[in-house]
Each structure stands twice: as structure tokens, then as C-alpha cells.
Amino acid sequence: MPPLSSARWTNAIHIRQCVRRMSTQPGASSLPLQGLRVLDLTRVLAGPYCTQILGDLGAEVIKVEHPKRGDDTRAWGPPYAPTSDPNGGPGESAYFLAVNRNKKSIAIDFKQPAGASIIRELAKSSDVFVENYLPGTLEKYKLGYEGLRKINPGLIYASITGYGQTGPYSDRAGYDVMVEAEMGLMHITGEKDGPPVKVGVAVTDLTTGLYTSNSIMAALIGRARTGRGQHIDAALSDCQVATLANIGSSVLISGKEDTGRHGTAHPSIVPYEAFPTKDGSVLLGGGNDNLYGILCRRLGRPEWASDERFVTNADRVKHREVLVPMIAELTRGKTTKEWLDILEGSGMPYAAVNDVKGTFEHEHVIARNMIHEIDHPTCGPIKLINTPIKFSESTPGVRSPPPTLGQHTEEVLRDVLGWSAERIGEARRGGVVA
């Protein structure tokens, strides 16, 4: 048998380390990413959302936080989940709790050489390293990709930034709302005659987290084949441009400007929007000619399906300003519940417009186990949104609550790096860890 190359030898070592870790992660048995270790140097939303997905799928996620303030979002409230810790301030913010389950928190001051050294030691046995600092920041502490790949050639190193590692804006800080504005999303969001608005959640952060987690898993598959890790450059700006999707494609193909804001309506499909009812709104989706015919019958106006102005979708788009008010006049005559009953079993898409609390009380949300209650170490029982994907052979989900700041510092230093209690105490006294 020929000798293993250096890269494949490193990969073989990683596989053995992963196998050993599989038996030490509580509740992770049979999960797809069990045995993988993720070192998480991210804050706020895009990065933590990415690493939470990896944690949900079974990876051991070690979250590195500032020893005093922790992740920025710990202070982003109210609301807070009240804490029993007399020194815990107002409690844990709902924002932080949203994207940090299934993680261990270790508080390290990596601006101190001793703190940066701890992170390098952890990186040696990690499979994935995720960070969201401005380009060049971590290089100052010898924690950049080129430095860490020398001590761990199999490391998957993901950098999440506002504008990427290259390009004229690469040094610019980027938050979700700025990127929504600059990269086209805000311009196409809002009512037709109203100003541009941001999406109700930080959707650019979330899609960037999704893209990055997906890319990390692809890189892990690539490493299994080549034995080598790689650097992933994920930018909010790129991900936002990518998710312009069909609207962006329409501009590229037509060579014309986009059609602006349409509220809940669709620029290329009619009827496909929210219509007023006696007590709220109902969303109706006549996405093709057959569905439009079903809608006409359920509205009690079957003749509209053969009206020459509305026969095809192209006709309906052309006569949008005629058809939409006709439908709205009818929908105003009944309550939302009455319309839901009329449309039940029709085969066409429809929905009530619910608020968030109503969503969490929705029978389908409850049936799909999308809300999970778990005991937090200082806040007691808290409810979290569960992971959305169901697997046939495993059960990803909430195994551990979001950690308190530095909750696992001693555990990680002892169990991962083999530090003695005396050494840990010395690092605490020096302010290197907390």
C-alpha cells in the first residue's frame, strides 16, 4: 500500500479525532455532523446563525466571546429572559437566545498573546473556524487563515463580512440594513406608492448564514476527498445580489430597470397578493390559469375565468388595475375565517396574514414541533424556535440552551486542551479568560 500524502495523513488524523468526539457529545448520536468541532468567533446574526445550523446538525460548536461583554447581542434588548443570577443584569436577551443554542461559550481575550495562543491551540483540533471580523483584523493576532492552515492544513476557515475579502468596499463595515439598501432589496420592498422599506427580519444576514453553512458542509465533503481545508469568503453583499433571484434575472434579460415595489403583489403573476377582508387580510395565489379558475368559482364569479380580459396570466397582468379591485370588493364582504373555510380543499394556495404570536399558536406550527422549551441554567424554562428540517434517520434540534457568558471556559480548557485547574486559575487571574 503506498504511503499517505501529507494532506491525506492530516485528513486521516482528523477522521480519527472526529470518531473519538462522536461518543462524547451528549444528544448528538446519529446526527449528520456529529464528531465535528467548530470554533466560532462570530457575533451578532449572520455568523451565529451559520454556526447554530452546524450545531443543530450535531457539530460541537465552541463560541469564543469577549470576557466582559460577550457577543454584542447579549445587550440587545428588551425583551430579556429574566435571570436568577443576581449579577446577571436584566437577563439574557431574546436576540442572543435566538441564534446561540447548541453551543459552548468560552470567554477569551485574544488581544492578549496568551489568549490568541489558546485559540490557535483550539484550532489545531478543530474542523471548522468561522469568523466575522473586518478583513485583516485577525491576522494581527496570528489568527488569519494563512497562519492557521500551517498548523491545521485540513481546517475549513469561513470569513463572513459585509463586502468580502476583495473589492473596493472590502474594508467597509456592513450591517444587514445597509446591504439591503445598497444591493437592491430595499428598492423592491414596500407598497407601490410608498417609500422603500427593509424586510421585517434581517433577511440578508440570515441568507448569508445559510449560504455559509452550506458552503462549509460542501468544503468538508471536499476535504474528505482531498485532505485539504480551504478558505470560504462569504459576503452579505454577494449573498444579497444572489438572492435577487427572478427579479434580478428579469433586469439582466430585459436590460430594463426593475418594476419597483409591489407590496404583497407579484410583478409577473395576477392575482397573487393580499386582499382585504372584514377583519384583516387573506393572501390569494392564482399562480396559473387553472388556479385562477378555481379562485373564480370559490369567489362565486365563475364567469371571470372566461372574461377575455383575464383568460391568461399575461391578460391578467395587463389588466391588473381592473381585476384586483374587483376581487377586493368581494373579499371585503366576509371575514378572514369565512374565506379560509370557503377556500378549504380547493387546491389553490391561500393563507391568512398572521402576526408572529398568532404564528406560534398556529396548529400546523405546533404539530410540526417548531417551538421547543428547554431549561436555561439561569433563566429557567425558555421557549426557542426549533430547527426546521426533519431527517428520517436522525433528529436535529435543541440539545442544549444558549450558554451563559464563559459557561464552558473551564470545561473546554480542561477537556480539549488538557489544562490543569491551576493553569486555568492563573489565566483567569490574568484576565486572559473568564
DSSP-derived letter for residue 268 is: S
User: What count of other Cβ atoms lies within 10 Å of the Cβ of residue 112?
Assistant: 17
Q: For residue 3, what is its C-alpha cell?
A: 504511503
CB 62 within 8 A of CB 408: yes
Q: Read off the amino acid at residue 403.
A: P
CA distance 42 to 66: 11
User: What count of other Cβ atoms lies within 10 Å of the Cβ of residue 408?
Assistant: 20
Given 205, 238, 279, 307, the catalytic residue: 205
CB 40 within 8 A of CB 59: no
CA distance 343 to 330: 14
Q: Read off the amino acid at residue 190.
A: G
H helix runs in 227-379, sequence order: 236-242, 245-254, 289-299, 313-318, 320-331, 336-343, 356-360, 363-367
Which are the contacts of 296, defined by CB distance < 8 A and separation ≥ 6? 302, 303, 304, 305
Which are the contacts of 214, defined by CB distance < 8 A and separation ≥ 6? none
Task: Please indicate whether residue 205 is annotated as part of the active site.
Answer: yes
Diameter over CA atoms, the chain: 85
Q: Which residues are catalytic?
A: 205
